Each structure stands twice: as C-alpha cells, then as structure tokens.
Structure 1
Amino acid sequence: MIQWDDFEVGNHRLRCPACGRGDRDKTLGLTIEADGKGVAHCFRCSFTESYRPDWGTRRQMPAAPRIKAVVTQKHETLSDYGRDLWSACKPLSGVAAAYLKARRCVIPPVDGDLRFHSALKHPTGYTGPVLVGLITDAVTREPMSLHRTWIQADGRKADVEPPRLLLGGHRKQGGVIRLWPDEAVTTGLGIAEGIETALSLAWAYAPAWSCIDAGNLAAFPVLPGIEVLTIGADNDAAGTAAAQECAARWADAEREVYVTRQAQNDLNDILKEAA
C-alpha cells in the first residue's frame, strides 16, 4: 500500500510496491491533485492504486494480466542503422563533457567507444543530447549494438522514461563498451556495470570498460594478456553476485583480481556525495 499522506501535491516517482527491485527502481508514477485525490501506475507491471480522501480508505486495483513480448533478435552484429548512427556521433564535448564532469567522471580518451549525439529522438518523442556507447564483443571486438543515455549538462539524466536504451533486436550478451581502446589495455583492466561507474573507477584503475549490466559482468571472459582485473562492483544483490562470479573465474585462471566495496550503491555515488 502507498502512504498517500507522505506526498505533497504534484507528480512523484517511486518504487513500485508490486514489482520494485530496490529504492532506485522508480517505475511507479504517482500524482496528487490539489483536492487530495491521487492515482499511481507502474509503467512496468501495470500495478494501479488510487486514493480519495472522502472514501476514508484506499482502493487498490490488481494489475491486469500482461503478455510478455517476445523480442526476436534480428542482428548478430551492428545493423546498418546502428553503423550510420555511430558514424553521426562526435567526440565528447559540450553537454556530454559537462554531464560527465558534473558526475565527477573521468573523461575517456577520444579513441574509446563513447561518443556524443547532440539531438537524438527518444521513443517518447523527446529529442535531446545523448551519450552513445558502441557495444563490441569482448573477445572478437565485433560491433554488436549501441547503448544510448539521454542526458543534461547538470549531471542528471533527461526526464524521459527510460533514459537509457539499447538498440532493439541487437545482441547484448558478451558485449562491452571499450571506454579505453584495446591499445591502452596492457597488463591490467578495470570493469564495472554502468558507464558512469566505470568512469568513476578510472580515477584509480584505468583503462576501464563498461559491461553494461550485471549479467554481462558476471560472464566477462578471461582475456589473454591481462594479468590484473579490478571490478567496480555495485552494492546490490545482483552486483555483488556478478562480481563474485567474475572474480572466481579470473582467480581460477590464476589472474590477480580486486573487487571494490562501498556503502553506497556504486562508485559514482561516492564521488557525487564527496563533491
């Protein structure tokens, strides 16, 4: 149940009581009207709850059954659309550089696989600046997909849902965003789930790559020539398990492995709090 009295008039975002995966998983949109009436709806599971002061009680409506869409993977490698979009992107500058600096991230080198598009359309219709990461196979280096993050210069993500998207119909498993090029990777490498987390890890451990999510980090393969792996682990159940699985595999291969620990959810949260 939602504690309606805790919210002021206006729009709010919070964790869904039905499908929420953590405090940062704010898929529930909640609106309080001036007369005290309220309605909440989850964009993921369709959980709905409404409130009227004159009822004296809250009325909860169960989520309607949903049919899970089956997404057919069409592209094993980056599509022509993806290649054209990547070619249209520019080196990090302007809003992109301001966004990363506001989040206290290291700006990666220009020959890494993170670029910037000044005006890209979101499925909601919004058009704005975007960080674009090229996802390549961790082993073969084959381009696979693109990771897009709609951003603002003050370090916040754009007010769209969701602010991060992969290209539909493209393979993501086994991919990484090489924030530093292969030529910069000699005997050591840092990895993390998100781009901002990897660029926070880079203050202490560079070069660094983003594995995109916990599943890819858990499966990150042992690569030849890398003797030391540093993992910037997210402080949640999925992040901890992924880091442990990856670290165990690399340790079994007789590589030196370090895993970060912090009270905050990820390394970027530490930098933002310190700032």
Structure 2
Amino acid sequence: MTIEADGKGVAHCFRCAFTESYRPDRGARQQAAPTPHIKALTTQKHEVLSNYGRELWSACTPLSGVAVAYLKARQCCIPPGDSDLRFHPALKHPTGHTGPALVGLITDARTCQPLSLHRTWIQDDGNKADVDPPRLLSGGHRKQGGVIRLWPDEAVTGGLGIAEGIETALSLAWAYAPVWACIDAGNLAAFPVLPGIEVLTIGADNDAAGAASAKLCAQHWAIADREVYISKQAENDLNDAIKEAA
C-alpha cells in the first residue's frame, strides 16, 4: 500500500494482482485482477507406442543402402536383419527436411513392450544430416526403462553388451555381442538386472555422466552376483576410439 502526502493512495495485492486506488476528489476505484493465463504443460501422452508410431515402424525396412553405408563409414558393426534398428529412405524432420534415417524401436527392457521410436537423419559418408537436431525421440512417448534391441532376445543367451548410443553399442559389438543401446545415461544407469544374463559388458562414455551411469549400473548387477565389465578409452566413446584407430 502506498499513501501520498495529498491523500492519494494505491493498494496492490502481489498475490492476486487486485488493485484499488483512492483520490480525495474521486473516492475509491477498483481494478479487478486480470484473468490469469494458464500455460498448458507438455505431458507424456503415450505409455506405449502410439498408432502413428506403429505405422511409421511398419513403413521401415531392414538396414540397406544409405543406412549400411552410414554405419560402415562410422566403423560400426552391422546388426542382424531381425534387429530393432531399421531404415526409412525419406523420413520428414520437423524442420521440413526429408531424407534417409535410422529408426530404432524402443522397447521396455523387461517386458519388450514397444514404447517409442528413436530417429537419426543420416548421410552415406558417416555424417548425420545437416538438420537440428539430427536425432529425435517420438514426442509424448515414454523412453524410461527402454532399450533398442540391436540383437534380438533369442541371441542373448548368457551375456549382453550395453551402451548409451546406437553407434557406441555397434562399436562395442566388434568385441562383444549381442548388444543393446540404452539411449542415454539415465536409462543405462537404471538398466535392470535381467534373468538369464550372467555377464554384462558396459560400453561407457568417457564423460562425467557416462562414467557415473556405468558405475551405478555395474553396482546393481554386481550386487545381484553378476559379472560386469566396463570399457575404458581415451576418447569420449567407443565409436570415437574405433574411428580413430581405423
């Protein structure tokens, strides 16, 4: 509240924005609080893969052409034909760009339930397409607890390799397969202990988040009496290391 020497005054509520002014010659005047503008929050809409996502996944094909050229140029191991990594020759990006893309099906690590899609726009020289960002997850979908099964469950008999990114996992596959990609450090840290897997090999990124997530994941598996190995390299990730050595 502000009161001036000539008797004028203003009362203002900073909580609800109600205002009342007073002038000796006019009396009190009230100004109602403005209607608050409520911004809609972006929330997760789909617990499982949406119909649109299923249609897009069905439109993808096994890796071929530009997809194989991209992976080979990145010195990546090519996953088997029944991998959850596929190819779309002309996928539209939100910027309007349309071009070839890798499409990964994200499934729940425990239940195999389809959750979302991971898309990477690519070029055959091993570089990502000139779009921002070149990688996208399906909007409004859950990715927590999900993985991209670069090798099918049937190939996982006693041991498994995991890494954050697709290219990192496919670099680890030269030395240890089958492999899955966990998408990011958070998912890798929370990767659950799965029955039937006695040995876990982690292709850790050489940064603070990567090291911390690998350590946490390894601790969970070690407590469960499983054998765990973590990669170490001078470069940021295994794909950087394998490209440097090529």
**Cα distance, 1:274 vs structure 2:** 1.3
* 2:86 counterpart residue number: 115
1:106 partnered with 2:77: yes
- Work out the CA distance in 1 between the residues paired with 2:131 and 2:170: 23
* 2:183 counterpart residue number: 212
1:229 partnered with 2:200: yes
* 2:14 counterpart residue number: none
**Cα distance, 1:84 vs structure 2:** 0.2
Q: What are the Cα deviations for residues 117-161 of structure 1, in whole angstroms up to 9, with x where unaligned?
A: 000010001000000000000000000000000000000000000
- Work out the CA distance in 1 between the residues paired with 2:134 and 2:217: 28
SS in 1 for 2:47: coil
Consecutive unaligned residues in structure 1, runs of 5 or more: 1-67
- Work out the CA distance in 2 between the residues paired with 1:70 and 1:265: 35
Q: 1:253 aligns with which of 206, 224, 227?
A: 224
Letter of the 2:110 partner, please give it. Answer: V
The CA RMSD measured in Å over matched residues stands at 1.0
SS in 2 for 1:105: coil
Displacement over 4 Å in runs of 4+: none
Question: Are residues 250 and 69 of structure 1, via their aligned partners in 2, closer, same or farther at CA, if it must alter by over 3 Å?
Answer: farther
Alignment of 1:6-45 (within 5 A): none
Q: What are the Cα deviations for residues 80-131 of structure 1, in whole angstroms up to 9, with x where unaligned?
A: 0000000000000000000000000000001110000000010001000000
1:163 partnered with 2:134: yes
**Cα distance, 1:257 vs structure 2:** 0.1
**Cα distance, 1:71 vs structure 2:** 2.3
* 1:184 counterpart residue number: 155
* 1:130 counterpart residue number: 101
- Work out the CA distance in 1 between the residues paired with 2:229 and 2:63: 29
1:93 partnered with 2:70: no
1:84 partnered with 2:55: yes
Q: What are the Cα deviations for residues 50-97 of structure 1, in whole angstroms up to 9, with x where unaligned?
A: xxxxxxxxxxxxxxxxxx984211100000000000000000000000
Q: How many residues align?
A: 208
- Work out the CA distance in 2 between the residues paired with 1:84 and 1:182: 23
1:147 partnered with 2:118: yes
**Could you tell me the TM-score, scaled by structure 1's length?**
0.75
Larger Rg: 2
Letter of the 1:141 partner, please give it. Answer: C
Letter of the 2:76 partner, please give it. Answer: C
Letter of the 2:68 partner, please give it. Answer: A
- Work out the CA distance in 2 between the residues paired with 1:144 and 1:137: 7
1:199 partnered with 2:174: no
Letter of the 1:268 partner, please give it. Answer: N
- Work out the CA distance in 1 between the residues paired with 2:81 and 2:242: 23
Using CA pairs under 8 Å that are at least 6 residues apart, name the structure with larger relative contact order, 1 or 2.
2
SS in 2 for 1:258: strand
SS in 1 for 2:102: strand
Q: What are the Cα deviations for residues 11-60 of structure 1, in whole angstroms up to 9, with x where unaligned?
A: xxxxxxxxxxxxxxxxxxxxxxxxxxxxxxxxxxxxxxxxxxxxxxxxxx
1:75 partnered with 2:38: no
- Work out the CA distance in 2 between the residues paired with 1:236 and 1:116: 30
- Work out the CA distance in 1 between the residues paired with 2:243 and 2:40: 37
**Cα distance, 1:271 vs structure 2:** 1.2
- Work out the CA distance in 2 between the residues paired with 1:70 and 1:240: 33
- Work out the CA distance in 2 between the residues paired with 1:69 and 1:143: 27
Consecutive unaligned residues in structure 2, runs of 5 or more: 1-38
1:175 partnered with 2:146: yes
- Work out the CA distance in 2 between the residues paired with 1:82 and 1:203: 31
**Cα distance, 1:170 vs structure 2:** 0.2
